[in-house]
Amino acid sequence: MRATPSLRPRSSENPLVDHVVIRPNLLVDKPVSEYQTFDELQTGVFSPQDCSRANVAQFMCDLILTPGGSRCVVQLRAEQMRKPDLWAQWKGKMPVIIDKVAA
């Protein structure tokens, strides 16, 4: 969390610098599944919920494959824009990601 104070001033000063800091709870090796994102931890420090590495990678892809998500992606096709507001939702924030638990 120490990086946050140094990232925010730089990203607000420079329009070419954007960031999202992804915070998985307890990383595990599992295949891609449904996941949830939150503004803050949903469980205590001593009772973490699983988050697969594949879901972290999927969330990263979902973030950059949106309009405004990555300046490296020059042109996106409509089918690639799965979640068009995702980058805007988390820009400059530190979302917590966990695997969705079956109800």
What is the structure's pLDDT at 69? 55
DSSP string, 8-73: HHHHHH-TT------EESEEE------EEEESS-SS-TTSPPEEEHHHHHHHHHHHHTSTTT-SS-
Displacement of CA 28 from its chain's centroid (Å):
17
What are the tokens at 103?
A: 């109800």
Q: What is the pLDDT of residues 58-89, one digit of tens each?
A: 888 888 876 655 544 444 444 445 566 888 88
The range of the structural domain enclosing residue 95 comes to 20-99
Q: Answer whether residue 86 is part of any domain.
A: yes
Count of domains observed in the chain: 1
Q: Answer whether residue 2 is part of any domain.
A: no
Taking the whole predicted model, whether its pTM rises above 0.85 is answered as no
